[in-house]
């Protein structure tokens, strides 16, 4: 199994963040067809889970001395899975913090 890194695409990253090419927020009309935050989080969690599963499978294959799986590709896959998990963990921590702040507000 070969892991390939894709080059960074600024326009795609801006579109995911809901910004146009100049960095301004996209109007509500343009956003109408986009997914909700819950859908985006679900997709991100599925992606991180798949990445972890792939890294685990590659690690198992390396341990079984499969000549088709290289140690370098396995290490890259493991690092990608760890970075993805760390990012999801940070988002969760921020959401919990925001929820706590809102619950502690006086009305």
Q: Dump pLDDT digits (tens) for 36-91.
A: 888 888 888 999 999 999 999 999 999 999 899 899 999 999 999 999 999 999 99
The range of the structural domain enclosing residue 87 comes to 35-103
> 44 near 38, Cβ under 8 Å?
no
Question: What residues pair up with 25 in beta bridges, in sequence order?
Answer: 19
Asked whether residue 12 is assigned to any structural domain, the reply reads no
- Predicted confidence band of residue 18 (pLDDT cuts 50, 70, 90): confident
**What is the biggest distance separating any 2 CA atoms in the chain, rounded to whole angstroms?**
64
Report which DSSP code applies to 19: B
Asked whether residue 46 is assigned to any structural domain, the reply reads yes
41: nearest Cα among 9, 88, 97:
88
Asked whether residue 11 is assigned to any structural domain, the reply reads no
80: nearest Cα among 1, 3, 8:
3
pLDDT of residue 27: 67
Q: Please count the structural domains in the chain.
A: 1
Whole-structure pTM value? 0.61
Asked whether residue 54 is assigned to any structural domain, the reply reads yes
* Average pLDDT of span 9-24: 74
pLDDT of residue 72: 92
In angstroms, the CA 107 to CA 27 distance is 31
């Amino acid at each position: 199994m070969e892991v390939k890194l894709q080059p960074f695409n600024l326009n795609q990253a801006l579109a995911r963040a809901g910004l146009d090419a100049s960095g301004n927020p996209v109007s509500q009309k343009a956003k109408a067809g986009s997914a909700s935050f819950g859908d985006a989080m679900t997709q991100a969690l599925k992606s991180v889970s798949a990445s972890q599963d792939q890294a685990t499978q590659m690690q198992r294959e390396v341990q079984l001395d499969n000549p088709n799986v290289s140690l370098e590709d396995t290490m890259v896959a493991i690092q990608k899975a760890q970075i993805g998990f760390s990012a999801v963990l940070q988002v969760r921590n921020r959401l919990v913090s925001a929820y706590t702040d809102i619950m502690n507000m006086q009305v």
